[in-house]
Amino acid sequence: MNLRRIAGWFLIGLGLANIANFMAPKPIPTVGAGAFIAGGLLIVAGLAVNGLGPALAERIRLLLRSETAPRKAVPRPIDPLLPVRILKLAEKRSGKLTVSVTAMSLEIGLDQAQAGLEELERRGAASSEIDEETGLMAWRFPEFLPPSGN
């Protein structure tokens, strides 16, 4: 252990002793609220001397950030008529839709469009696949697909 680390731990110990001994008849070196302030400053100085200051500051920042970070929005339930509107659109578009086409045609958000398409897939009205032409996820609606050649 080098001299710098010893000095850092000494300052941390002195700060802790200062805080713990704030009510003693002969405190080290302050009394009352000043003991907490001086103790805190000694601890911070000890952490800085030991090189723990930046790492500790980063951990505190991450803890505070996780507490004050905006929480993920809870998905709103989809409009009960959205699946029906998507089915009507699928009929008009020959049984094949993408999220972006659905969103633009129905003037809804992309999240809502995807949720509606996934709901119809879950209920068995559609199936999803990667479109070979575009490389995008597409939903096929078998009852609205054009009849295959004889």
- Supply the CATH number for residue 138's domain: 1.10.10.10
Per-residue confidence (pLDDT) for residue 20, from 0 to 100: 74
Task: Please give the tally of structural domains in the chain.
Answer: 2
Residues 137 and 94 in one domain: yes
Which range is most confident: 6-10, 88-92, 128-132, 145-149? 88-92
Quote the DSSP letter at residue 143. Answer: G
Query: In sequence order, what are the residues at sequence separation of 6 or more whose Cβ sits closer than 8 angstroms to the Cβ of residue 133?
Result: none
* Residue 74 forms part of a structural domain: no
pLDDT greater than 70 at residue 13: yes
- pTM metric for this prediction: 0.48
Residue 30 confidence class, pLDDT cut points 50, 70, 90: low
Amino acid at 146: P
CA distance 108 to 43: 55
Which of 68, 101, 118 is a domain's end point? 68
Q: Residues 77-105: pLDDT tens digits?
A: 668 899 999 999 999 999 999 999 999 99
Residues 86 and 135 in one domain: yes
User: Average pLDDT for residues 114-139, to the nearest whole number?
Assistant: 90
